[in-house]
Structure 1
Amino acid sequence: MVVFDIDGVVRDVAGSYRRALADTVEQFTQGQYRPTMAEIDALKAEGCWNNDWKASEELVYRFCKAQNLERPTIDYSALVDFFQSRYRGQDFSGYIQNEPLLMTRAYLEQLTQANIAWGFFSGATRGSASYVLEHRLELESPVLVAMEDAPGKPDPTGLMATVETLREGQDSNLSLTVFYVGDTVADIQTVINARSQYPNINWIGVGVLPPHAQDSPEYAQKLKEVGAIATLNNVQDLTPELMQSFDHG
């Protein structure tokens, strides 16, 4: 079976989540600092900032420290509300409505025809994740574990919960290979942590380069250093045939 992250894998979030993150940092530094895409990538590469609200807060703190300013007291709920006003907007009228899709429904149907079960484990909110899966991709009640359902990555609890839902009714003693496809260090670290916590499953991490990072050898190298078996330019390059070669490689 294969489990997909959503942001940077199913949809391009450079002009939505990343833009909202930069807007939020700019807002909470009173216009003094707006992080670049490279700076956001560098933070994400640390592996512990999968939550964009927390990442926004951290970049504000780091800017103030670099400028020898007093550490600000941030109203976290106000920060989240501002971020969501930009990203989600009123009735999904924000940046979310313009996210380019990186996956098609036909690709998922190809996996189904190859007897490969699939689902989603994402740090996105359930509302945001459901919007892209059910409204944009027109999937009917896909298996999804979202932000509200499990601890944040790289904790593998949510990944395992997705797998357990996908294999309901199956013999749990049968050998199982699970691919997890993600675009960040935290995604791949989740696979590494799953191996130690759930050793009865063969876990394989596959990196996908988000569109804004496809010309960055450093980005791909970082994913491989953490443990990705490969880095692909598009999630749909992970064909059933390629999965089989990885599983038996």
Structure 2
Amino acid sequence: MIEQTTAIAIFDIDGVVRDVSGSYRRAIADTVEYFTNQGYRPTPLDIDKLKSEGIWNNDWEASQELIYRYFENQGQTREQLQLDYNKIVTFFQSRYRGENPDNWTGYICNEPLLLQLSYLEQLTQAGIAWGFFSGATRGSANYVLEKRLGLQSPVLIAMEDAPGKPDPTGLLATVRQLENGLETTSAIIYVGDTVADMYTVKKARELDSSRTWIGVGVLPPHVQETAARGDAYAQTLIAAGAALVLSNVQELTPEQIQELVS
């Protein structure tokens, strides 16, 4: 561990470190379709619209909400439906991880990586500490960080460790872990791909005004299929508080970080 750091960079995982358009988002669509009896399969735009509300970072809860809204449009009330959340989670996980919890064979196995180990090594060499704060389960997060990227016990606050975003508790906890043995760092950058990520930075700033809190947005791959859609998504992130929006996390170079925090 370095003794002094110029800044801390904390990364969300889904849509930043890995492309989840064919995994988490596909599992959302599968789940909603199943529980609406094939009546509705949300499009990527439908899911983006829901997540732009800033409170649906948890994909199990997002799935449930889309199911509820479908049936509400059919004239039914939530009280009438009484959806079983645990059944929604179980079905979702059967698609995302696979049927066998000990041998994952689901969509998670095919997630493209958006970040390379060499990028993180560049940050370390530049004196920039880094870690991860994600709404993914610890098992899912460690799958990509340790098994896919080859990291050894990285600093990680996952779903089980803190309330869901935009609550900033997990972000603050990640900072505390990274600062263990270091001088207090004045500049914290959180890199995420959703409105909830940017709201989390705002709330952290409200709780700790002694630091500089910077939200950096990253466009997830599925919104980059057309320039218009990417531009619209970028504007949504900027409106939510992003200082800048990048098309890939590795564009946040050590030089770019120094420029942001200086």
> Shorter-chain TM-score: what band?
over 0.9
Match of 2:213 in 1: 203
Match of 1:29 in 2: 36
Q: Which amino acid aligns with 1:25?
A: V
* 1:157 CA drift (Å): 0.5
Counterparts of 1:103-182 in structure 2, within 5 Å, are: 103-172=115-184, 175-182=185-192
Post-superposition offset of 1:92: 1.6
Post-superposition offset of 1:70: 4.3
| Cα drift, residue 199 of structure 1 | 1.1
The aligned runs of 1:223-242 (5 Å cut-off) are 223-242=237-256
Alpha-carbon distance in structure 2 between the residues aligned to 1:61 and 1:78: 14
Give the equivalent residue in structure 2 for 1:76: 85
Supply the distance in 1 between the matched residues of 2:131 and 2:77 (Cα, whole angstroms). Answer: 44
Q: How far off its partner does 1:200 sit?
A: 1.4
Taking structure 1 as the reference length, what is the TM-score of the superposition?
0.97
Distance, in Å, in 2 between the alignment partners of 1:156 and 1:134 is: 25
Name the counterpart of 1:213. Answer: 223
* Match for residue 10 of structure 1 among 14, 17, 38: 17
Tell me how far apart the structure 2 counterparts of residues 203 and 87 of structure 1 sit (CA, whole Å): 33
Code of the residue aligned with 2:238 in structure 1: it is: K
How far did residue 231 of structure 1 move? 0.5
* Residue 46 (1) aligns with residue 84 (2): no
Counterpart pick for 2:201 among 191, 201, 224:
191
1:171 deviates by 3.0
How far apart are the structure 2 equivalents of 1:171 and 1:219?
36
Give the corresponding residue for 2:74: 67
Q: Distance in 1 between matches of 2:138 and 2:106?
A: 16
CA distance in 2, matches of 1:93, 1:200: 45
C-alpha separation between the residues in 1 aligned to 2:73 and 2:84? Answer: 21
1:117 counterpart SS class: strand
Residue 260 of structure 2: aligned partner: 246
Supply the distance in 2 between the matched residues of 1:171 and 1:133 (Cα, whole angstroms). 26
Unmatched 5+ residue regions in structure 1?
none
d(CA) in 2 for partners of 1:67, 1:202: 47
| Equivalent residues, number | 246
Aligned residue type for 2:82: T
Alignment deviations for residues 44-95 of structure 1 (CA, whole Å, 9 cap, x no partner): 0000000000000000110011121343121111110000000011222100
TM-score by length of 2: 0.92
Distance 1:93 1:137 in 2: 18
Q: Percent identity?
A: 63
Greater mean deviation of Cα atoms: 62-71 or 186-195: 62-71
* Alignment RMSD: 0.9
69-78 vs 14-23, greater mean Cα deviation: 69-78
Q: 1:114, 1:27 → 2: CA distance?
A: 48
| Structure-1 separation of matches of 2:47 and 2:90 | 20
**Unaligned regions of 5+ residues in structure 2, if any?**
1-7
- State the Cα deviation string for residues 165-186 of structure 1 (Å, max 9, x = none): 00101233xx520100000000
* 2:40 partner amino acid: Y
